[in-house]
Amino acid sequence: MSQDHHTSFEKMINQDPVFGQMSFNDHEQVVFCNDKDTGLKAIIGIHNTVLGPALGGTRMWNYDTEWSALNDALRLSRGMTYKSAITGLNLGGGKAVIIGDAKTQKTPEMMRKFGEFVHSLSGKYITAEDVGMNTEDMDVVREVTPYVTGISEDKGGAGNPSPITAYGVFMGMKAAAKFKYGSDVLEDKVIYVEGVGHVGETLVEYLTQEGARVTIADINRERLEEVSSKYGARIYEGADVHAENMDIYAPCALGATINDNSISKLRASIVAGAANNQLADESKHGMMLQQRGIVYAPDFLINAGGIINVYAELEGYDRSEIMRKTENIYTTTIEILNKAQQNGLTTHAAALQIAQARIDARRSERRS
């Protein structure tokens, strides 16, 4: 290696160390997957396996940089650890990202190759669908590994987890309303749903059935018109959704929409949505919401319906048990909101404490 190359390499690793990444949180393992023939470039993040194998979906997204993809895998896998812990599931946290355009670059060959990488981890990581993926993709992955959930019902799986995820968010939103307003009835509440993918659309359905006044926002105009025509939701035509008068803001697309800029303008009294990692900075932005009197329903709790659904494939419980466990998100949300208020904590911190306590207790059991 030449002196120039050596110097630039040193500079790169000193500035951007993997273990020093902002989102690195004592992850157990990070796997980089590359296959020239299929064009696969993927990252699997395994955050924690104290409670069980790391289960989490695979997201396919056209990331700006590979560092952005790594950051997403790290943040999402950590979130899955706490999601499973707080929901009472015997699972750890993991997540995978595939770099690329799901509409134009995804192929069955790529999915099989990705499945081979998953299989090489011998069950330490179990995958499922996420953004840019669907049940059919998981069926293809299942051809080469048993370490996949969310497969088609006719193949013995629990099917698409999105409707159950939406139901859990709906339960969490109702709990937040009960805490804030004294009633969990959402009729006539002004609710802005940002992101109308599979989960967002089903949430809109639940909300309109209850008589809420729903406005939807999305970068995909075709989806907006489709969802609006189905449920009568109003399409947002403005420039800044956060500045609008509303009762509840439901972020259901990508994360970090709760940040310095949005919080200063946010006119909602509740934030409750399906997106992962909604707080750009968990500590700072959780505190800013609290100071403004905005109730935040922790994302990793209320969007846990999907993992409850796919966990059923591993444990063999039926649809009624899936719905019972998902409905319990309501009770857990109330408990966390009360705990936060009583102890002067942000709701995010209160939820993390409960999840971490369960992980620590299991770790102690193992040691003893």
So which residues are the catalytic ones?
Answer: 95
Residues ≥6 apart with Cβ < 8 Å to 88: 325, 358
Q: What are residue 54's DSSP bridge partners?
A: 92, 125
* CA 253 – CA 273 distance, rounded (Å): 9
DSSP-H helix ranges across the chain: 3-15, 66-87, 108-119, 135-141, 162-181, 198-209, 221-231, 260-265, 282-291, 299-302, 305-315, 319-343, 347-367
Burial 203-225 (b: 16+ CB within 10 A, else e): bbbbbbebebbbbbbbeeeebbe
The angle at the Cα of 45, spanning 92 to 298, to the nearest 5 degrees, equals 60
Handedness of CA 307, 210, 262, 230 (dihedral sign): positive
DSSP code, position 217: E
